[in-house]
Amino acid sequence: MKFGILVNEGPFTHQASDSAYRFVLAALEKGHEIYRVFFYHDGVNNANKLSEPQSDDRDLVKLWSALGTEREIDLVVCVAAALRRGVKDDILAEGFRISGLGQLIEAGVESDRLVVFGD
């Protein structure tokens, strides 16, 4: 099965990003395909390489970045949501790219399921 993933929450204020990350890992482990992960609303903060979690906390920015790079998963950050939150190309973590809502629509069309994490 081919999944599109929508992440609407940031890495430190809600469990949605962590749940999405773990879902993607489990899906890949079972042999499924991840078409794209789209970060929207506060979810764009998952791409901010300037974030610094506490040393005893998970670093979802680095985890997403590594997963996207190693597995060649398309990690797309919504341009409008990113600009509202000060997330620009120069602070994107490796593996992320900025694009528009058309990428979310395409993920929904091209995937068998679009799974949404967060409100």
Catalytic residues: 78
34: helix, strand or coil: strand
Q: Name 44's Cβ contacts closer than 8 Å, sequence gap at least 6.
A: 10, 77, 78, 81, 82, 85, 87
Cα radius of gyration (the chain): 13
Give the contacts of 22 (CB within 8 A, at least 6 positions apart). Answer: none
